[in-house]
Amino acid sequence: MKITKIMSFPILIMLIMLMGLTACAGSANESASSDMVAQSAPMEPMMEEASAEMEYYAEDAAEGVAAPVDDILNAASSQAQQTRVIIYTGDISLVVQDTQESVDAITAMASEMGGFISGSNVYESGDVLRGSITVRVPADRYQDTLAQLREMAIRVERENSTTQDVTEEFTDLQARKTNLEFTEEALQQLLEERQRVGSTSDILEVYRELTSIRGQIEQIEGRLRYLANQSALSTITIQLTPDVLYQPVSIAGWEPQGVAKEALQSLVAALQGLVNVLIWGIVFVLPLLLVLLIPVVIVALVIRRWWGKRSQKTQDAAAQS
C-alpha cells in the first residue's frame, strides 16, 4: 500500500494543477473550456484507474477547489456587467501666449484636480520656446481637465481622445488569480502533509510547484495593479506652441529688438568710459598736475623777478650815460 501511495503522488500533483488550469481556461472562454475537456477525454481511463489510489490524498483537495472556482467566476462575471474598467488617454496640442507660464499653470491645475505631472520637457526650437507635458488626473476629472486646457489656450491645433475597455482582461486576471490561490492552498496543505510523512523528493516536488504557482500569482497581481492604476488615473499629453503674434519681429534672422538692445548697451558702455575718464582726471591727474606745476610756477616767478631787476638796472645805466 505504501508503494502504491508513493507512485500516485506525482499523479496527485498533476490532478491539482489540472483542476486549476481547467478552471482558469473556463473563466476566459467557455468554448476554449469545452475544447480542453474534449482533448482531455482520452485521459479519463487513466484517471479512473488511478482514482482509487488517489482518493486517500485528493478527496479533501478536490472538494476545496472545484466549488469555490464556480462561485468566483460567477461573481467576476456579474461584476463585469456592473462596473467597466476603462483607460482614458488624451493628446492635445495647444497654441499659447507664453510656454513657460502655461507649463506652470498646467502644473497647478493638475494638483487642483488631484493628479500630478508625470513628465515635462521645455525646449527651444526655431527661436521660440516649446513644451511637452504629461499629466495624470483621476478618471472622473478627465473631461474637466480637457475643458480647462482648452480655455487656457489661444487655440487648439489638435485633440485626440481614446478609451480602452480592459474589463474582460481585468475580470479574467482576477479569476485566474483566485484559481491559482486555491491551487496554492491545496498544494500548501499537501506540502504540510508530506513534511510529516513524505520523502524528501516528494517535498521538493511540491515546493517546486508552489514556487511556480506563486510566481504566476505575483505576475497576475502586477498586471492587475497596472490596469487599476491606468484606469484610476487618466493620462493626457499636452504639446505647447507659442503664438507667433506674440513673438519678437524677426526677418531672415535680423531682429530690430536685438539691434536696439546692442546699441543701448554700446551707449551705456561709452558713457561709462567717459565717466571713468572724468573720475580719473579729477581724482588722479589733477592732483598730480598740481604737485608738478607748483615748483614750475615758483621757478618761473623767480626767473621773472630776476629778469625784471636786470632790465631795470640796464635802463638806469643807459639813462646816466
Binned average pLDDT, 10 residues per bin, the chain of 321 residues: 46 58 49 37 37 38 38 44 82 92 93 92 84 94 94 92 92 92 88 78 84 92 91 94 68 65 86 91 85 85 82 74 64
Last residue of a domain, one of 208, 226, 247: 247
The answer on 264 and 239 residing in a single domain is no
Q: Is 309 part of a structural domain of the chain?
A: no
The answer on 218 and 279 residing in a single domain is no
What is the pLDDT at residue 321? 64
Question: Taking Cα atoms as reference points, which of 12, 21, 303, 14 lies closest to residue 179?
Answer: 21
Q: Which three cell numbers stand for residue 131?
A: 513644451
Q: Is 253 part of a structural domain of the chain?
A: no
Which residue range(s) make up the domain with 80?
1-247
Q: How far is CA 241 from the centre of its chain?
A: 21
The answer on 69 and 45 residing in a single domain is yes
The answer on 157 and 46 residing in a single domain is yes
The answer on 79 and 25 residing in a single domain is yes
Show the CA angle centred on residue 112, arms to residues 108 and 117, nearest 5°. Answer: 55
pLDDT digit string, tens, across residues 166-190: 989 999 999 999 999 998 898 888 8
Q: Is 57 part of a structural domain of the chain?
A: yes
The answer on 154 and 15 residing in a single domain is yes
The answer on 281 and 202 residing in a single domain is no
pTM for this model (two decimals):
0.52
The answer on 208 and 62 residing in a single domain is yes
3-state secondary structure the chain: CHHHHHHHHHHHHHHHHHHHHHHHHHHHCHHHHHHHHHHCHHHHHHHHHHHHHHHHHHHHHHHHHHHHHHHHHHHHHHHHHHCCCEEEEEEEEEEECCHHHHHHHHHHHHHHCCCEEEEEEEEEECCEEEEEEEEEEEHHHHHHHHHHHHHHCCEEEEEEEEEEECHHHHHHHHHHHHHHHHHHHHHHHHHHHHHHHCCHHHHHHHHHHHHHHHHHHHHHHHHHHHHHHHHHEEEEEEEEEECHHHCCCCECCECHHHHHHHHHHHHHHHHHHHHHHHHHHHHHHHHHHHHHHHHHHHHHHHHHHHHHHHHHHHHHHHHHC
Q: Is 310 part of a structural domain of the chain?
A: no
Beginning with the edge strand found earlier in the chain, give each strand of the sheet holding 86-96 in spatial order. 116-125, 128-138, 233-242, 86-96, 155-165
> What total of structural domains would you count in the chain?
2
The answer on 161 and 98 residing in a single domain is yes
pLDDT digit string, tens, across residues 199-248: 788 788 888 888 999 999 999 999 999 999 999 999 999 999 998 755 55
The answer on 241 and 116 residing in a single domain is yes
Last residue of a domain, one of 220, 247, 274: 247
Q: Is 206 part of a structural domain of the chain?
A: yes
The answer on 1 and 112 residing in a single domain is yes
Beta bridge partners of 87: 164
**What is the phi/psi pair of residue 97, to 5°?**
-75, -40
Q: Is 313 part of a structural domain of the chain?
A: no
The answer on 93 and 153 residing in a single domain is yes
The answer to whether 27 and 175 are in contact (CB under 8 A) is yes
Q: How far is CA 244 from the centre of its chain?
A: 30
